Amino acid sequence: MEEKEISQAVIGRLPRYFRYLGELKDQGIERVSSQELSDIMKVTASQIRQDFNNFGGFGQQGYGYNVEYLFQEIGKILGLDKSHNLIIIGAGNLGQALANYGNFERRGFLFMGIFDKNPLLYGRRIRDREVRPMEDMEEYVKSNHIDIAVLTIPKTEAEAVAQRLVRSGIKGIWNFAHVDLNVPEEVQVENVHLSDSLMKLSYNISSFQKNR
Ligand code: NAI
């Protein structure tokens, strides 16, 4: 497939397609039309076709798309055909909650270790991995082929830790700290701010009430 620049908006919609296709696959459904996908996902059929056309259209022939093929292809585009080794930095409330969520593994994100700077936490086991000291982080990243680090530490600490991760060869940072990180372009950062989503909810509640 020819490489072309795909907009972040399209990329942002791919995980949702992937999820729904996974559900159709689990139900044993073999083919789906763009109209049926549209009805399930509440996205217009033309949006779906436009999105898929960015990747050559996925060969819709006769009746709809082949669910298994589409699921596999979108998975490949998302890089889910390979597994990713990840570590969590910050074994507090959020870090532990993420570590305890086993479902990421189903998508190939393997929880390999968790680090903290608080000595009181060293050795505590979280899903069979013990909390390790930050001094061990660089060596661990290198020798265990860690490609993703999850940052669940205070924002004041995040930049310095990110720089250490970059020097260790990390490829991606899933950043929960409320700060924009300065990393070189070969390191990908995905910021997650749950409160942004909550504020959007708040906006929708108030705009619905205003318009009644
Ligand atoms: P917490 O206080 O329970 O845990 C933070 C942990 O990070 C502690 O165990 C602490 O020892 C450790 N830590 C601090 N500096 C460190 C460093 N330099 N290296 C390694 N470990 C270090 O806090 P919680 O509730 O888990 O939140 C963690 C961070 O995530 C906070 O900055 C919070 O604002 C943010 N957060 C972000 C959310 C989001 O949607 N983006 C949602 C919830 C929290």
Ligand 1 atom, smallest distance to 192 CA: 41
Q: Whose CA is nearest to atom 44 of ligand 1?
A: 94
Is residue 194 in contact with ligand 1, taking CB distance under 6 Å? Answer: yes
Is residue 177 in contact with ligand 1, taking CB distance under 6 Å? Answer: yes
Nearest to 49 by CA among 31, 62, 39, 37: 37
For residue 61, pLDDT over 70 is answered with no
For residue 119, pLDDT over 50 is answered with yes
Residue 89: phi, psi to the nearest 5?
-110, 115
3-class secondary-structure state, position 80: coil
What pTM was computed for the model? Answer: 0.91
Residues 6+ apart with CB under 8 A from 142: 168, 169
More confident residue, 211 or 101: 101
d(CA 148, CA 110): 10
Nearest to 141 by CA among 174, 168, 117, 172: 168
Looking at the DSSP bridge assignments, the partners of residue 129 are 126
Q: In degrees, to the nearest 5, what angle opens at C-alpha 116 toward C-alphas 111 and 119?
A: 130
Confidence of residue 1 (pLDDT cuts 50, 70, 90): very low
Give the pLDDT confidence of 14-24 residue by residue, as tens digits: 999 999 999 99
3-class secondary-structure state, position 110: strand
Give the pLDDT confidence of 152-187 residue by residue, as tens digits: 999 999 999 999 999 999 999 999 999 999 999 999
CA 96 to centroid of ligand 1, rounded, Å: 10
CA 187 to centroid of ligand 1, rounded, Å: 21
For residue 102, pLDDT over 90 is answered with no
Q: Whose CA is nearest to atom 11 of ligand 1?
A: 118
Looking at the DSSP bridge assignments, the partners of residue 75 are none
Is residue 161 in contact with ligand 1, taking CB distance under 6 Å? Answer: yes
Place of tokens 């661990």: 140
